Chains A and B, each alone.
Chain A
């Protein structure tokens, strides 16, 4: 059955006439021209933002596209005109603590959902899927009320980042889903071998599974780092009015209200916020693409 089409393909390939070959070449050229065009359009915003970030304030408001002179000092000014360091530290606090929480809390849940037999497993998995699809706006009002009314020993949660960090330590639906999909692909024999050797489930999880599922765990960590780094809605609700409690995304959106119409500085700040994400991407490109593919194909 399989031999027939491939044999036919060999025959067909031998008899490609010149006209067909020319048409194929033409198609390939057309294909590549469109790709190059779209690629230029996709890179243009980065280029335009960078160029503006290097202009003087008045140049940024003129129709000029090329900075003259190049004002590298803009990147320093960003740190001195607004509390940019403070925002970076706050963002890192949210991203690092949040990502740690997501990984630590989601791995065991995903393992249980993928590998252990117990009553209600299917129902639990369905609930994870539902939680995944639910817009955050649906639960946001009661949660805000909860954090507003909850002040142990007089500690106010509103105005801090804890209401956005803490929930990450109790499992994240997307990460649980992605990890479960990956855990399902681990051959049962490995786990059985560990069980025969006398490993408990906890031991199996912390040694065998985490080692075999490293790409998926790395992907989950990357995604949740990105998600928390980019998050705007939840910090907007909880971080409050004081600029020194803001994260980068909020600071950036309010940048112009703090400093009038300085587009050059705004674009410099924009670039600085984009930079870490892009650097991480180039450092971990393979893990990224594998992770994205994992979300789609195995779904």
Chain B
């Protein structure tokens, strides 16, 4: 969105991030294996930019997001936010950084505490991080509500009094409360009605421009991701398979998975004839990850090399990186 900030230092650099969950069995809960939700993921986001992260359910996109703000503890790798490695920080040292990194969740029904009113939901961060009086907090919350398109009169209401779209606006106001620089949007429109999605997408775009925000935008919906992102990373089974500027990814996809994914999305165009590239089979389980390239059991380009060797990153053009042995 913001062209002048394109060339600046990355605000966030994720290097070789791994998040494994132990699988425990038996009476003594011995660890018998690991579920490798995120397995060696690296990317960077520049200030003012939106990076889209797409993939199907279980590919590790949400775990990646949660690892970045340490809502789940990463197993390995480094997360460098504005030059500081977040993984090496103690919880108390992490706190001041937390206000600069916020998250908007997918489900506006479960992400707001039903027993708290709007004032305490949106104002909680202010209460903890800033020494403000109640009347000052009330004032700030009222102006935040206005900013996200809600009436300040709603300040004493409870979540059940709002519709899904309005709740998502409350979640956005909460994320904005501490003037963060970086916001993770985890499927922020997936649970909303079609006519409400555009409201929220436009709101997120406006806020980004007004506050020079940096977004990590997670979604399974490629059309939404392409619309809002400057660059897109495609994930499959815990790994990134392709990253590219979003128009480039749409016009010139290189990884067979990206091609299949683009092909699978239904478009609002009855004249389109789908090409025959259809992805057969299903996403394998994360506990039984295929060897070599993880996509090889479903890939039409596969050779014996794919079964044994992890594909290295290949730079096809500026900022366009593909992990595949057989780029055509």
- Genuine A/B complex: no
A residues touching B (Cβ–Cβ < 8 Å)?
none
B residues touching A (Cβ–Cβ < 8 Å)?
none
